[in-house]
Amino acid sequence: MNLKNLVILASAFSLVASCSKKPEQSSVTGWNYNDSKMGGFQVSKEKEQRTGPGLVFVQGGTFTMGATQEDVMRDWNNVPRRVTVNSFYIDQTEVANIHYREYLYWLNVVFDADEYKAVREGALPDTLCWRSELAYNEPMVEYYFRHPSYNYYPVVGVTWKQAHDFCMWRSDRVNEKALLDRGFINKNAVKNLQGLGQENFNTKAYLMGEFQPTPGPAAKSKKNALKNPNGTPRTNVTFEDGILLPGYRLPTEAEWEYAALGYINQNPLPGKNDKKRGEELIANKQVYSWSNNVNGLRDTRHGSWQGTFMANFKRGSGDNMGVAGGLNDNAVYTAPVTSFFPNGFGLYNMSGNVSEWVADVYRPLSTEDVEDVAPYRGNKFETVDMGKENKAERDSLGRIKMRNVTDSESKSRRNYQKGDVINYLDGDSTISGIAYGYGKTTLISNKSRVVKGGSWNDRAYWLSPGARRFLEEDQSNSTIGFRCAMDRVGSPAGNGRQTGINYKQRRQNTRKQ
C-alpha cells in the first residue's frame, strides 16, 4: 500500500471517529451536552449504582407486613397490613465486633485530642450489658468485644444512637475510598490520620465545597473525564457524576421485615415451564426468615437438613445450645455473623443470633397510620444551618451543621405541616389532646425505637420477621446488634433492568412534521 492510500485510509478513520464522538444533544433544546462551545452543561454518562461494601441488593415489592402467627403475647402491635417497599441495599450480615473496633480505632486516631474525649468514650459499646445478678458472665464482659476469637461475632451493647453514628462514619469512609481509588484524592494526604480532628473527610461537606482534600493525579490529568464548563479538568466530584454512594443508614422496619422474608427465591408453583411468579408469594404467610414453604421447612433433595437448627435461639427453659455431643445450634450466646443458612436474599441471621435495631420510632399501631409505600415513623425533618452569614458551616466533628425544620417553614406546604412528625396521628397531644405519660402509664416515648428479629436468648416466637419489640434509643442490651442499609437509586428492578415497560412506538407517532 503506497503512502497516498495510507493517507486516505487514515483520513477515513479520522472522519469515522469524529462522527462517532458527536456530542449528545438535549431533546428539549437541541443544545449539546459537555460542549464548552455551547454553554458547557455537564452531563455524566448514565450509569448504574454500584453495590457498596458488605451490601446485598434487595428488589422491592409488595408484601403483608405484620404477624403471621397467633399473637400469644397479646401485644396487638403487629396487625397484618399490605404495603410496598422500594428497592434498597442491606448488609449481608450483622455488624461484627471487628467492624465496630475499626470504627473505634478511627475515632481514637482522628480525634485524639483531649477535647474529643467525650466523642471517643461515647462510641464505646457497653460491655457491662453481659452482667446478670444471678449468672457468671464476666468472661463475656472482659473478652467478647476485644478477643480475636470473637472478631466476627455480632457487636452488642450498642445503643440505637451509636448504631446511627456508625452508619454515618461508614458512609464517609466508603465515599472517601471511592475518590481515592479513582485518583481524585491524593493518597499521601490520608496516610497519617493522627489528629485530623475536624479536618476529616465528610461527604456532605465535600459536596458543598466546605472540605477541600488534596487532589489526586486523576483530577489534574488531561484524561480526566470530569470537565469544567470551559473544558478544563475538574478536580472536585459532584453527586451527579455517579461516583459517590448514598449514605449508609439503619433500615426501616418495613425494609428489614421485607428483607427477612426473602420471598424472591421462592416459587410456589414449581414446574419445568413455570416462571417464578412473585405476585403470589405474599400469600405464603411463612413464619421464619429461612422458610422455603409455608411449613417453615428448608431441606436438600435428600432431606439432609431436616431436624437441624436454622437459627441461633433458645429452644426451651435452660436449653440454649443442647446437650454435649449433640449441640443443637452450637452457640450458647451469639454465633459468627455468617453462621446458619442465608435466606432468599442471601442474608444471614435475620432470625436469631441477635435482635437488630431499625430506624423507626415505636408505636403499637404504626401499621394503622403509615403510608402504603415506604412506610416509616420517625421523621424529624432537617435542613442545612446556614448561620448568621448565610453560609454552611462544619461542626467540631467536620460534619455540616444541620437544624430542625420549623413549623412556620412548613405551614404553607401541602405534603407536611410540621417539622417534627414523630407523633403524627398517633394520639399525640397536638391532634387529640392525649399524651403519652412516659414512666407513668406507658414505657413508650419518642425515644423508643423498634427492635426486630429474635436473639440467642429468645424463644422461637420472636424469630418471626413480623414480631416487634422496642427499647429506648440510648439504651443497649446483650441481645441487640444491628446491620446497615442504603437507598437504591435508579431502576428498582436492579442494574441492567429498565424502569417501567417500554413498547415499540407506532410509526405514525414518530414522524417528524
CATH number of 161's domain:
3.90.1580.10
User: How many angstroms separate the CA atoms of 159 and 106, rounded?
Assistant: 19
The verdict on residue 225 lying in a domain is no
Count of domains for the chain: 1
Backbone angles phi, psi at 227, to 5 degrees: -125, 150
The verdict on residue 41 lying in a domain is no
CA-CA-CA-CA torsion sign (272, 273, 277, 280) = negative
Cell of 250: 439503619
Cell of 349: 441471621
The verdict on residue 407 lying in a domain is no
Give yes or no for a contact between 470 and 362, defined as CB atoms under 8 angstroms apart: yes
The verdict on residue 234 lying in a domain is no
The verdict on residue 253 lying in a domain is yes
What per-residue confidence (pLDDT) applies to 18?
45
Give yes or no for a contact between 455 and 462, defined as CB atoms under 8 angstroms apart: yes
User: How many angstroms separate the CA atoms of 348 and 185, rounded?
Assistant: 35
User: How many angstroms separate the CA atoms of 412 and 487, rounded?
Assistant: 29
Question: Cell 414505657 identifies what position?
Answer: 443
Q: In the chain, what is the greatest distance between 2 CA atoms, to the nearest angstrom?
A: 98
The verdict on residue 468 lying in a domain is yes
**pTM value?**
0.89
255: Cα separation from own chain's centroid: 9
The verdict on residue 163 lying in a domain is yes
The verdict on residue 162 lying in a domain is yes
- Residue 460 CB neighbour total at 10 angstroms: 18
Closest CA to 456 of 315, 338, 314, 288: 314
Expressed as residue numbers, the domain containing 154 is 55-182+243-378+422-487
Give yes or no for a contact between 485 and 248, defined as CB atoms under 8 angstroms apart: yes
User: How many angstroms separate the CA atoms of 260 and 254, rounded?
Assistant: 10
User: How many angstroms separate the CA atoms of 513 and 27, rounded?
Assistant: 16
Question: Cell 422500594 identifies what position?
Answer: 86
pLDDT per residue of the chain (513 residues) written in tens, 0 to 9: 555 555 555 555 444 444 456 778 888 999 988 888 888 888 887 788 999 999 999 999 999 999 877 777 777 888 889 999 999 999 999 999 999 999 999 999 999 999 999 999 999 999 999 999 999 999 999 999 999 999 999 999 999 999 999 999 999 999 999 999 999 999 888 888 888 899 999 999 999 999 999 888 888 888 888 888 888 888 899 999 999 999 999 999 999 999 999 887 665 444 544 455 555 555 566 788 876 554 555 555 555 566 678 899 998 899 989 889 888 888 999 999 999 989 989 999 999 999 999 999 999 988 888 999 999 999 999 999 998 888 999 999 999 999 999 999 998 999 998 999 998 887 655 555 566 677 677 888 899 999 999 999 999 999 999 999 999 999 999 999 999 999 999 888 888 787 877 777 666 555 555
